[in-house]
């Protein structure tokens, strides 16, 4: 088989993995620091795509949609945490799970009522249309842009968590919230910010994915399954695990689609099963402190 074709397919896998990283990062941040399994994550990915589409249609600019939608949906996520999830922290861990599961259905049906069930195309901005010569072949400029944005977000997130005072508080609050309360830290405010950050990242993933597929109420369902696979492979709550597993799953799906298209959908689940047989906690899994 042509080496150029294989190289381009590998790069396609990286672009797919970049979207999965954004969604899995949000899922991992919320679980790793709040202990909440958010089953509404895929629906919020979809809402982010619709928000980006709506803002872009109002302003005539993809860039405003890319900027405003993640901020708005992140703020919406903060409202969800404060009004719906926070009262359930001291109850069974199943209660937030069931609540977010139902919330996901509510969001999907609400979007279907407002925008309809048919997919809506999201045009690639003119500046990012066309292809670029990578030396090994031609590749869509927009997908290169997606990879670049995700890489920049990863660097900024690492700098925030590792190099800032508030990032230190967030990490400490995830490990031992009781000690943080004793030290006078408002841990509820930390959890509020973390949940909003996780949802904002997911919404950003939705906006970035929108020009590569039709925006539809069902677009979050498969993404949710893929995000959970990535999160389980990387290790629940592990941010580096989400990055490594996202790239691994993206490349595995892309290469399988080249050699055995009928297996592309199930290869990620087979990969998850293999990892769990070897390391039940995932590649970078760790224990997570409870509330």
In tens, the pLDDT along 120-158 reads 999 888 888 888 877 777 788 999 999 999 999 999 988
Summarised one tens digit per residue, pLDDT across range 220-278 is: 988 888 888 999 999 877 788 889 999 999 999 888 988 888 888 889 899 999 998 98
Average confidence score pLDDT of the chain: 87
In residues, how long is the chain?
291
Structure tokens at 85: 């999830």
Rounded Cα distance between 165 and 148, Å, is 27
Say if residues 249 and 233 touch (Cβ distance below 8 Å).
yes
Name the pTM for this structure.
0.89
Do the strands 138-140 and 131-133 form a parallel or antiparallel pair, or are they unpaired? Answer: antiparallel
The closest alpha carbon to 246, from 73, 29, 15, 42, belongs to 15
pLDDT at 185: 75
186 vs 248, residue with greater confidence: 248
pLDDT at 289: 44
Q: Which of 50-54, 69-73, 245-249, 281-285 has the lowest mean pLDDT?
A: 281-285
pLDDT at 6: 81
33 vs 41, residue with greater confidence: 41
| Residue 133, phi then psi, degrees to nearest 5 | -85, 115
Summarised one tens digit per residue, pLDDT across range 71-127 is: 999 999 999 999 999 988 878 878 888 999 999 999 999 999 999 988 899 988 888
In this predicted structure, the answer to whether residue 288 has a pLDDT above a threshold of 50 is: no
pLDDT at 283: 87
Rounded Cα distance between 193 and 81, Å, is 9
In this predicted structure, the answer to whether residue 291 has a pLDDT above a threshold of 50 is: no
Say if residues 90 and 291 touch (Cβ distance below 8 Å).
yes
The closest alpha carbon to 28, from 230, 186, 276, belongs to 230
Rounded Cα distance between 246 and 213, Å, is 19
Q: From start to end of the chain, where are the E strands?
A: 131-133, 138-140
The Cα angle at residue 232 between residues 210 and 51, in degrees rounded to 5: 20
pLDDT at 176: 66
């Amino acid at each position: 088989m042509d080496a150029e074709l294989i190289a381009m397919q590998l790069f396609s896998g990286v672009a797919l993995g970049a979207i999965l990283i954004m969604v899995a990062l949000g899922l991992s941040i919320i679980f790793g620091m709040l202990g909440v399994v958010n089953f509404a994550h895929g629906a919020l990915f979809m809402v982010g795509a619709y928000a980006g589409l709506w803002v872009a249609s109002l302003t005539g600019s993809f860039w405003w949609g890319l900027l405003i939608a993640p901020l708005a949906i992140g703020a919406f996520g903060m409202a969800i945490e404060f009004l719906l999830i926070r009262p359930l922290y001291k109850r069974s861990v199943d209660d937030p799970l069931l609540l977010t599961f139902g919330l996901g259905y509510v969001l999907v049906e609400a979007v279907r009522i407002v925008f309809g069930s048919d997919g809506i195309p999201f045009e690639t901005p003119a500046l990012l249309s066309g292809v670029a010569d990578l030396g090994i072949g031609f590749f869509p400029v927009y997908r290169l842009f997606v990879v670049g944005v995700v890489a920049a977000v990863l660097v900024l997130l690492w700098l925030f968590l590792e190099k800032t005072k508030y990032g230190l508080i967030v990490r400490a609050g995830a490990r031992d919230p009781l000690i943080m309360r004793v030290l006078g830290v408002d841990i509820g405010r930390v959890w509020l910010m973390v949940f909003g950050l996780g949802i904002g990242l997911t919404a950003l993933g939705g906006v970035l994915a929108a020009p590569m597929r039709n925006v539809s109420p069902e677009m979050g369902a498969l993404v949710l399954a893929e995000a959970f696979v990535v999160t389980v492979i990387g290790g629940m709550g592990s941010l580096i695990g989400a990055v490594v597993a996202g790239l691994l799953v993206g490349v595995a799906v892309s290469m399988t689609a080249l050699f055995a298209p009928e297996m592309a959908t199930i290869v990620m689940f087979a990969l998850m099963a293999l990892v769990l047989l070897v390391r039940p906690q995932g590649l970078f899994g760790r224990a997570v402190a409870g509330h």
